[in-house]
Structure 1
Amino acid sequence: MIHWIEGGVEHSARWHSENFSPAPSQVVVADDTMNANTAYRLAKGDTALLWRGDYHNARQLLRAMDRRVQKDAAKRAARQASRKSRGGTEFTAHRAARARRARILGRLLVQLEDDHSLDLRRAPDVRRACHDAYGPPTGTTCVALPELLGVLGAHQWHEKGVPIPALGESIHPGYGVFSPVRGEYIDLVAGAPLPRAQHLTAFDLGTGTGVLAAVLARRGAHRVVATDISARAVSCARETMTRLGLASRVEVIEADLYPAGRADLVVCNPPWLPGEPTSMLEAGIYDPDSLMLRRFLEGLAAHLEPGGEGWLVLSDLAEHLGLRAKGELLDLVAAAGLRVVGRDDTMPRHAKASDAKDALHAARRAEVTSLWRLVPDTQSDPIGPARSAAGNLLKLPDRDTGPGSTTDV
C-alpha cells in the first residue's frame, strides 16, 4: 500500500510494480502547476508524485524529467570516460544509468480506479490494456506512469502484431513476453538444414511468443513441444498456435527448460547477456551467470534422439561488451560433451545497430548472431575436447565471407 495526504485527508491505495520496485514511502500530490525542475528534484530525493492534472501534461512532464536525467547521465559518463573504463565496466555503468533513469521517472504515479479506469483529464480508456496486463481489477491501484505507458504500448503491439516474414504472418506478443522484433534470429532457424528424420520431433526451449516453434512446425516438424517457465509466455504461445492453426501440432507447456522425453531437434534461444534481470521482460535479455545457456548445453545429449541435433541461437554481443570471454562458449560446449557440426551467422538489422548515438554502438556494430548446430561428441580425442571443438570450428566457413556462410552484410 502507499499512503498520502490530499485535501487534509489521509488516503491509501494498493501499489503495483511489474519490475518489483518497492512502494514509495513518501508521496505528494502533483498537478499541472508543478514545473519540471521541482518534479525532478523531488523524484531524485525518492519522493513520489501522484498526478492529478491533465494526462497529456503528465506525459510532457515525464519527457522534461527525462531530459534532465539524460543531462545528468551525460555528465557522469564524461567523468567515467576520464577514468578510461572499458568492456564490462562500461556496460555496468550503462545499466546503472538506465536503472537510475527508471527509478527517477518511476516516481511519477497515476491512480487506476477500481475498474482499471484512469480518472484524469484527456486520459485514454486504459481499462482493456490494464485488464490484459494485470488481470481483473482488485481495487484502487497506483502504478508508475512509465509502466502504464508500457502497458498501453504492449497492448498496441498485441493488437497490431509483429510481422514475421519467415511465417508470412504476424505474431501478437502479450504483455510481459519478449517481442520477436529482431527477425534475424528467426531467419536463421527458418533456413538451417533440418536433421533427417521420418517424423521430425522438436523441442523449443524458452519459447516466449512461440515464434520459433511455429517456424519449425511450418517447416514440417511432425510434433513440436514448446516450453517456457513464464505463465504469460505459455498463454501467449498457445494463443499464437491457435491463431496460426498449429495447435494440433505444437504443444505448449509450462516447464523449467526441458520437457520429458527426447526429440530429433532441440532449439534454444537463451537470453544473450549474462546478468540479473530487473523485470519479467528483462528475463528475455539477461541470463544470470549464463544459467539457462549452461543447462541447455548440459542437458542436450540426454534429450536428443540418435542422429538428432541441438540448435543454439546466440549473439556474441556479450563478448563485445566484455561480459563473456572469447572462447568461453566453445569451452562450455566441449565441457557438456558436445561438438559443433555447423554454424550459420547473420548481422543485426535492428535500428540500434546503425545508431551512432547509442551508448553501446561499437559493440552492436560488431555483433554477430549465430545458429550453432550441436551433436553429442562420441569421438575420443587425445588432445582434449576443448581443442577438438576448436578444430571443428576451423573447418567451418568463415564467419563473414566464406562459401556457404549465411552472414547478412
Structure 2
Amino acid sequence: MQPKTAALQRLDWEEDGENRSARWRSESGNPPPKRLVIGHDQMTADHAYRLACEGTAILWRGDFQNARQLLQAIARRIDNKPRKAKKPAAEVSPVDAFNLHRLAQSQRGRTLAMLILPLDEQYAIPLRRAPDVKDACEEAYGPPDEASVVSLREVLGLIGAHEWRKKGVEIAALGERIHPYYGVFSPVRGEYIDLVANQPLPSRELAFEIGAGTGVLAALLAKRGVERVVATEVDARALACARENIARMGFQRQVEIVEADLFPAGRAPLIVCNPPWLPARPSSAIEHAIYDPESRMLRGFLDGLAAHLTPGGEGWLILSDFAEHLGLRTRAQLQEWIDAAGLKVDGRIDIKPHHPRAADKTDPLYAARSAEVTSLWRLVAA
C-alpha cells in the first residue's frame, strides 16, 4: 500500500478496498509515513523490524498488548544489531561521541515510531485490551475532534506523562510535589533546585525568573520569602503548567506567571535563569528544554541582565558544565559572553549531579556525565 500525505498532517491509505484518511499526530515532528501496511497479531517481530527499518509504517489492527510486546521486540533488535567497527574511544572526540549518540537515538526513535495506532474521534483506541487514554491525549493534544493515527511509542509516552502529572515529582526543598505537563521539562534533577534553595537571597522584595517551566523555582523563591516573583515563559504548555502548580501550592498571591520572551518589564534585585544546558539544535518541540541552539537563551539572558537589575542586584545563572565536557562550549567562551554583557562573576557555588546516568559506564557519554558539575553563577553589573 502506498499512502498519500496531505499538508504533512493527514495520512491517506487504502485498506480492505477502501480509501481511508485520518489526522496524523506526532509530537516529535515526524512526517506521515510514505508507505503503510496493516499489522495483525500474526505478524512476526522479524518481519515488523524489517518493515520499520525500511520506513514502512505498520498500522496495527490486532491486540493492543500484543502491539506493546512487538514494539519491545523491535527495540531489542535495534539495540542488539551488530555495530560497525568503531574507532577506539580514545580516538573519538567528545563532540563526535555526542553527535553519534544523538544520531543513533534519532534513528532508533524513527524506527520505533513506525508501529502506529488508530485513535477515534474521542481518543479511544479501537483495539482489543486497549487502555483508556482519553485524559492523557487531551492533556497533550487538547479537546478531541477527529479520528487520527499516532505511533504506539508516542501513546506510551502520553500514558507515562499522564501518570507523572497525576503523581507529581517530590521536591524536598519545597516540601511539595510539582506536577509536570506533557512536553514540559520535569524537575527530576534536584541538584539545581538545591543550589537555589541554599544561596543567600540579596533581597526578599522582588525576583524575576526567566523561563518558568513547571514553576518550581518561582515557587521555591516564594517559599523562601520573596514577596513578589514574576516568572516568564513563552511555551503555552509551560505557562499553563506553572500557573497550575503555583495555584496548587497557594503561591498565586506572590507569584505571577507572565507570557514573555526572556525578561518582563522593569528591574529586580534578583533575576534567576536556568536555561537549556546544551547548545545544540532540538529535533522536536519538546527538546527545547534541553537544547538551546547557538546558546540563544543563555546569551539573551546575559545580554539583557544588567539592564534589568536594580543597583546592587544579582543575576543567578544555573548552568551545568556538561556542554564543556562534550566540547560544545568552552569555559573561556562563557566568560567572554559574561564580560561582553557588562557583567562580572561575584561568586559561584557548585554541586555534583546525583542522577543514575552519571555512574553508568555503559553510557556512550559517560566520560562527560561523570565529570559534570552544576553551578549557580552570581552575576552583577560590572
Q: Please classify the TM superposition score into its range, dividing by the shorter chain length.
A: over 0.9
Q: Distance in 1 between matches of 2:33 and 2:205?
A: 53
Return 5+ residue gaps in structure 1 as ranges.
378-409
Q: Distance in 2 between matches of 1:81 and 1:89?
A: 12
Q: CA deviation at 1:281?
A: 2.0
Task: Please say if 1:22 is aligned against 2:31.
Answer: yes
Task: Please say if 1:11 is aligned against 2:16.
Answer: no
Q: Which residue of 1 aligns with 2:149?
A: 142
Letter in 1 for 2:217: L
Q: Distance in 2 between matches of 1:142 and 1:79?
A: 38
Q: Distance in 2 between matches of 1:80 and 1:262?
A: 52
Q: Which residue of 1 aligns with 2:377?
A: 372
Letter in 2 for 1:162: V
- Identity of paired residues, percent? 57
Q: Which residue of 1 aligns with 2:3?
A: none
- Structure 2 residue matching 1:344: 3-state secondary structure: strand
Q: Deviations over 1:191-224 (max 9, x none)?
A: 00111x3x52111111100000000011111110
Task: Please say if 1:46 is aligned against 2:79.
Answer: no
Letter in 2 for 1:27: L
| Equivalence map 1:228-267=2 (5 Å) | 228-267=233-272
Q: Which residue of 2 aligns with 1:274?
A: 279
Contact 1:4 1:28 in 2 (8 A): no
Match of 1:203 among 181, 202, 208: 208
Q: CA deviation at 1:83?
A: 9.6
- Structure 2 residue matching 1:167: 3-state secondary structure: coil
Q: Deviations over 1:24-82 (max 9, x none)?
A: 1211110111111111111111111111111111111111111121223x604x43548
Contact 2:192 2:374 in 1 (8 A): yes
Q: CA deviation at 1:362?
A: 1.4
Q: CA deviation at 1:326?
A: 3.3
Match of 2:351 among 343, 346, 350: 346
Q: Distance in 2 between matches of 1:101 and 1:280?
A: 18
Match of 1:107 among 107, 114, 120: 114
TM-score using structure 2 length: 0.95
Q: Which residue of 2 aligns with 1:152?
A: 159
Deviates more, 1:325-334 or 1:101-110: 325-334
Q: Which consecutive aligned stretches of 4+ in structure 1 deviate over 4 angstroms post-superposition?
A: 80-83
Report the number of matched residues. 373
Q: Distance in 1 between matches of 2:67 and 2:90?
A: 38
TM-score using structure 1 length: 0.89
Task: Please say if 1:90 is aligned against 2:113.
Answer: no
- Structure 2 residue matching 1:156: 3-state secondary structure: helix
Match of 2:11 among 2, 6, 12: 2
Task: Please say if 1:75 is aligned against 2:80.
Answer: no
**Structure 1 vs Structure 2 CA RMSD:** 1.3
- Structure 2 residue matching 1:352: 3-state secondary structure: helix
Q: Which residue of 2 aligns with 1:162?
A: 169
Q: Which residue of 1 aligns with 2:199?
A: 192
Q: Which residue of 2 aligns with 1:178?
A: 185
Letter in 2 for 1:266: I
Q: Distance in 1 between matches of 2:291 and 2:96?
A: 16
- Structure 1 residue matching 2:313: 3-state secondary structure: strand
Return 5+ residue gaps in structure 2 as ranges.
1-9
